[in-house]
Chains A and B, each alone.
Chain A
């Protein structure tokens, strides 16, 4: 039988160990400077944010925590006050978010576009077509396998809007909802020789790993604008609204816009800066 002190010491060891370790965890827990940005996989997976945010942090001192999910979920996080600012692409949902009082104001930041990719053999024969609705009609006619994001993301919302535009109710064995991010869906489409709708940024980042080719592009219907919205401090007074506004201001500033335009994968520009200079001027005076 050991000396009682032995047990005491081991208890003390465990308690002190716990405290030390929890100190480690808390040491880098978010402080009140940190900005939480909920955004879409397209801005994060493409590497754009990894390029922009260090420059933002260097010039303003605010660290940014990026949570990359689909647009639907990002807006939901904003609505619940779990993040300070959202950068998303689904215009109708963004306007609703602001109208319902969850967000302060939507600022246009940039745009890219969607492209329809599919197998190189193009079984549905869409490459010769001129407009997006005809392309979708052809896909449905040929029952060509189509992978839908099926995750309420901006891309998914866009895709559903396009089917509606074409007057088609997509259903049947050829129409498959993956419920996953863009990268995963491109992988699934590659493996199944299927068509899918993707934002150009993710496609450029991914295409060297995929046998798929662009089947259709260029229709104005495929335009993909990104907006940034600070979550309303009226609803959540202790949110990092100052940080959120600093990020918005930087994004639509000359510096931020130039960086967005300068971001490239290979030789391709992924996003076109599209902030309204007037909006920036107005923003500067209100802040």
Chain B
């Protein structure tokens, strides 16, 4: 929240605030071209890239969906929630139960409805949304930070339920998640066997495309939402609840609705998580997961959809990459060799990155990216025209200095 950009001193009002209209036209063809190129690369990737990267990619797509959802809630509507892991769990468990088969391995008797996976996915998303909706009246009444702590409760209650409700969740050991399937086409290694340009399209390849489609849809929906009427209402409400309500926004209603949307995103992310790992287990949905999602949106940039995407890629891919290249990265290695385990190294990095971002670059990766593209587009000092990025819920554009009263007397 750079004070200098908020307001010019009142005395200098006319001269100080002459912002040129953004030069949009000049490079307007470049952006769509880049986007199309990116899409082509993403579509063609399974032809060239090995399974590890595709599996990582699917995990990242899931994280993107979840992070966008959390950012809508925290970044755009200013409600700090640590309960994201809980809503992911609702989605994952619902999917597993609804589309899973009955059965029992050893001690645990597992239930399952055996419905088509697409039904499981949709109902999982809806149930996660419902859980969010049930919690939202309480959420809407709580001041920001009270909500943050209150939402902790959902995580711990969720873990307890996961551990206890063995018939549905598989209890301590968890249970396997069914493969996804759409109209008889399985996102698995066979059914049907499939080759594209001589490359076998197995589970990893198929899931890649599923992830791409879901993440893209989640991305577009969020972008449109924020650019539209609800987005304006949400962001004004974040900056000043009183101003929003006086302008005709039903603040309580909007808070509840964004909670619903955010937890539906989490539910979908949960389903994708279950598909990515192939199973669900209680310890996967602990506080740590919530904190990782928070790390994603903070590192990416609060309130920015692009930021959520960048943050999700960074946070969810980093440990996997560390793991794979442990021997190439200094300090990282096996526990035995005296180095840091990959997961630990990644956690240190996240922790430090959160602190550094909040201290020095509140706009996160998105802010950095915007600065780079801004420089690229308009060389010179035009970077300073960048809007002051939101820095949490209280970024009202209050004048940083008292208006120069002398000018009126």
Are A and B bound to each other? no
The interface of chain B, by Cβ under 8 A from chain A, is none
